[in-house]
Amino acid sequence: MIAKDVFVRDTLRLVTSEVKRFEVDNRVEVTQEEIVVILKRMAKQRKDSIDQYMAGARADLAEVEQKELDLINQYLPESLSGAALKDAVKIIIEDLGLSEIKDMGQAMKEIKLRHPDAEMSEASSAVKELLS
């Protein structure tokens, strides 16, 4: 607010209102883990909106959503992605002895347990690639 950055102020207000809504809906004091879950959900909503805006040729609205996503991502813990994620998936598949695409659910469950901060859509693609 002191910097007079209206965009950042408004986006952070959106985040705090989501946290407060969660507290009121569930009648609990929000924990750090729940805040991360809320932020991940907000980030996913922004990604979906960006895809829809780009499909609808609305680059201006997609740009606003991207800025919000970038700001939200600053407050999220570093997620496992890229080559590190692929290596982790490979290790899990080897540890569990998985070999067929029908084992994908089991692999995804184990990824979620071992690496809760992993980018799950990217993990899904890596599992499909390695089990195919």
Mean pLDDT (the chain) is 90
Q: Does domain 82-131 have CATH number 1.10.10?
A: yes
Share of the chain residues as helix, strand and coil, in percent rounded to the nearest 5: 75, 0, 20
Predicted confidence (pLDDT) at residue 116 exceeds the cutoff of 90? no
Residue 130 has pLDDT above 80, yes or no: yes
pTM summary value: 0.72
80, 118 in Cβ contact below 8 A? Answer: yes
One-letter amino acid of 97? G
Phi, psi of 72 (to 5 degrees): -65, -40
pLDDT the model gives residue 35: 92
> CATH 1.10.1510.10 spans which residues of the chain?
6-74
User: For 62-88, what is each residue's pLDDT tens digit?
Assistant: 999 999 999 999 998 887 778 888 888
Tell me the two tokens of residue 93. Answer: 């598949």
Asked whether 81 and 111 are in contact (CB, 8 A), the reply is: no
Mean pLDDT score, 8-20: 94
Query: For domain 6-74, which CATH number applies: 3.30.110.30, 1.10.1510.10, 3.40.50.300, 3.90.1710.10?
Result: 1.10.1510.10
**Per-residue confidence (pLDDT) for residue 55, from 0 to 100:** 95
Residue 118 has pLDDT above 90, yes or no: no
How many CB atoms within 10 Å of residue 74? 9
